[in-house]
Structure 1
């Protein structure tokens, strides 16, 4: 079910496989991968992350209990901090976020595209100010799925 390479593992979910990476005992990456190789998971934090990601994608939990280490520029971290505050089932626009930090919607979108901790930094909750969903690293169908799941 999962692959471990020292500080990484692969978690299989209903929407695809995700590479999970740990640095300094914190989750530093939850990102899509095409890798299918699997081995038993022996590290407790990986078991917890696997369980919580799958529960999240099934709509059983709305938040995560594990610690994260977000790696990026100061600007990206500022954007991600705002995005992390968007409540489950809610959305915010690129423009609204940009206005909070005196920036541009395009810069906010670029910061979203650099997010390597999917679901933890819920960039899928960021949409265009006209209400259309915008882009997403996992594709628009997955973004629609996540938004619909969170609304229900």
Structure 2
């Protein structure tokens, strides 16, 4: 995978992919992965805005995005961006809003190429945390818990 930046966060190193004009992907890399300074203007903006989000959980991302998904996935990803920081919705609530099934919403969340910026971590199961990044255990859920806890804090 070619990254235009690798940004250190408290929960992972974030591998940032751009096409030179927009953010195209964000991967969670293991802690300790070597950091890479931004290689283009967009990755510099992404790193700057990620730093702002880590300092202030109410920060709203404003980045050019190049998303490649189905029409349905795009609808779900747009709906995710409207869930405010510090808030959550269940897969069922989001499915009702979009007139679809909770499992379909979960699959679209799992296909999200830009987690954190498109906040799929804010979607929970009816009876608990739910999954994250197509996983129901391990490091992905620890990252989801960290992000949710971070967003419950007020900015310093």
Same fold by TM-score, threshold 0.5 exceeded? yes
Q: Which has the higher strand share?
A: 1
Moved over 2 A (4+): 5-9, 33-45, 57-61
Q: Size of the alignment, in residue pairs?
A: 147
The superposition leaves residues 6-45 of structure 1 with CA deviations (integer Å, 9 ceiling, x where unpaired) of 8722222221112211126011111223593445435232
Q: CA deviation at 1:122?
A: 0.2
Q: Output the CA distance in 2 between the equivalents of 1:38 and 1:143.
A: 22
Ranges in structure 2 where 5+ consecutive residues have no aligned partner: 134-138
Aligned CA RMSD, in angstroms, stands at 2.2
Q: Give the conservation status (yes or no) of the 8 Å contact 1:55–1:61.
A: no
CA contact (8 A) 2:11 2:146 kept: no
Aligned counterpart, 1:33 = 29
CA distance in 2, matches of 1:61, 1:47: 20
Are residue 135 (structure 1) and residue 131 (structure 2) matched? yes
Output the TM-score relative to the length of structure 1.
0.84
Q: Which structure 2 residues correspond to residues 45-56 of structure 1 after superposition, within 5 A? A: 45-56=42-53
Query: CA 1:41–1:149 in structure 2 vs 1: closer, same or farther (change >3 Å)?
Result: closer
How many Å separate the matches in 1 of 2:116 and 2:37?
A: 24
Kept in 2, the 8 Å contact 1:7–1:23? The answer is no
- Show the 5 A alignment for 1:3-152: 8-23=4-19, 25-34=21-30, 36-59=33-56, 61-130=58-127, 132-137=128-133, 139-152=140-153
